[in-house]
């Protein structure tokens, strides 16, 4: 096994462990998770559609810029990103190339509510006390942090659009309720609906063999 193959296995093992841990925590906090999921409304999904389209459009343009197409996972020879377990072509036996993405996506779907809530806690909480510029920086940082999972820098930058949207959802709820908890719950649900749309696209791609 080559050094690249060993590194790929290590990355997938780490990602699998983190996803399994998130799924375990979600099961343990199922009462809280049910509350978050029960609060999802059609508006959360409908508003997420144009945001996702904007992210895809901007990401497609940005990855054409030299340097912004760099992602450490693709540098290893991987496709997509390690979160859905798609490794370098030819480095993994055929059955595993099918099983690993299915297992990873299943664990991701289980753990998604708490994973999303954690991101909202870090990037949106307290937005009502920050300036517009500070919130804008947080939104861009939110996008760039995703480059850590191996996606191209241009795609990570495009995800900042989602960050701006989630901040808008947080501040809108804050103005309506004056409650940080209510604002955080609203941005979390907006984020969750957005990610569920992405998950649906991934599941469809896996089902049709398009990954």
| pLDDT average, residue stretch 166-180 | 97
Residues 6+ apart with CB under 8 A from 156: 143, 144, 145, 146, 147
User: How is residue 17 annotated by DSSP?
Assistant: H
Tens-place pLDDT, residues 110-144: 888 888 998 999 999 999 999 999 999 999 999 99
169, pLDDT greater than 50? yes
Domain range for 105: 3-208
Which one, of 116, 115, 136, 129, lies nearest residue 186 by Cα?
A: 116
Look at the chain and report how many structural domains it folds into.
1
Residues 6+ apart with CB under 8 A from 190: 44, 47, 48, 165, 166, 169
pTM given for the model: 0.81
């Amino acid at each position: 096994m080559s050094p690249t193959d060993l590194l790929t296995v290590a990355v997938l093992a780490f990602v699998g462990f983190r996803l399994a841990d998130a799924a375990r925590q979600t099961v343990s906090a199922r009462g809280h998770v049910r509350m978050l999921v029960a609060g999802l409304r059609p508006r959360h999904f409908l508003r997420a559609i144009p945001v996702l389209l904007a992210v895809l459009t901007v990401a497609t343009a940005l990855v054409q810029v030299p340097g912004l197409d760099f992602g450490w996972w693709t540098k290893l020879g991987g496709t997509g990103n390690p979160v859905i377990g798609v490794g370098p072509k030819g480095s993994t036996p055929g059955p595993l190339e099918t099983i690993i993405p299915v297992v990873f996506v299943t664990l991701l779907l289980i753990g998604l509510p708490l994973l999303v809530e954690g991101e909202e806690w870090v990037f949106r909480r307290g937005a009502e006390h920050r300036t517009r510029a500070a919130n804008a920086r947080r939104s861009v940082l939110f996008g760039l942090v995703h480059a850590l999972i191996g996606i191209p820098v241009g795609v990570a930058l495009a995800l900042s659009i989602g960050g701006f949207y989630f901040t808008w959802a947080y501040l809108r709820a804050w103005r309506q309720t004056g409650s940080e908890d209510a604002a955080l719950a609203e941005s979390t649900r907006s984020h969750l609906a957005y990610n569920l749309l992405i998950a649906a696209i991934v599941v469809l791609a896996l089902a049709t063999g398009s990954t």
